[in-house]
Amino acid sequence: MTDLNLKEFLPYQLAVLSAKISQEFSEIYQDRFGITIPEWRILAHLSQQSEPLSVREIHKMVHMDKSKISRAAARLEKRGLINKLVSETDRRLVELSLTPDGRTMIDEITPLALEYEEAVLASLGDSPDSFRKAIADLLAARDAA
């Protein structure tokens, strides 16, 4: 029987790295803007779209529990950062969109996010492009499955 060495097991390493990077970055926006990781992910995805997104669509993008997304969306709505509307095409869906205040917050977070990303990529030395491609390939292969 082969022993499993977690220090070399890629799925475990990726999960730990993802959690560490997410937590480290969240400290930047939590301190300054008072938003949580789920709230950040909702705002970030909404900022990439010209049309509203449903909680279901965001759930598929971020692989986070729908209930966690719904609670985070309620907090964002209460703060005036997003709008929540019942879908005109499917009354069962709630669609989310950024408010002007939400857009302003994203515009303020974006330079911090890019600066953080640059620091992480710099730690890879001369191989950030090949790392990005490998990650993109892994994600694409898992999305196709």
| Tens digit of each residue's pLDDT (9 = 90 or more) over 55-89 | 888 988 888 888 999 999 999 999 999 999 987 88
Q: Which two tokens stand for residue 143?
A: 């999305």
| Tens digit of each residue's pLDDT (9 = 90 or more) over 8-57 | 898 898 889 999 999 999 999 999 999 999 999 999 999 999 899 988 88
Q: What angle do CA 34, 40, 83 make, to 5 degrees?
A: 90
What pLDDT is attached to residue 94? 86
Binned at pLDDT 50, 70 and 90, residue 111 comes out as very high
Dist. CA 30–CA 40, nearest whole Å: 9
Binned at pLDDT 50, 70 and 90, residue 1 comes out as low
Q: Tell the CATH topology of 10-144.
A: Arc Repressor Mutant, subunit A (1.10.10)
- Mean per-residue pLDDT for 106-121? 94
Number of neighbouring beta carbons within 10 Å of residue 29: 22
Domain ranges of the chain: 10-144
- pTM tops 0.75, yes or no: yes
Closest to 26 (Cα-Cα) out of 116, 105, 123, 132: 116
DSSP letter (8 states) at residue 83: E
Binned at pLDDT 50, 70 and 90, residue 112 comes out as very high
- Mean per-residue pLDDT for 99-108? 97
Cβ within 8 Å of residue 95, ≥6 positions away: 52, 53, 54, 84, 85, 86, 87
Classified as helix, coil or strand, 86 is strand
Classified as helix, coil or strand, 30 is helix
Q: Which two tokens stand for residue 67?
A: 């209930």
What pLDDT is attached to residue 145? 66
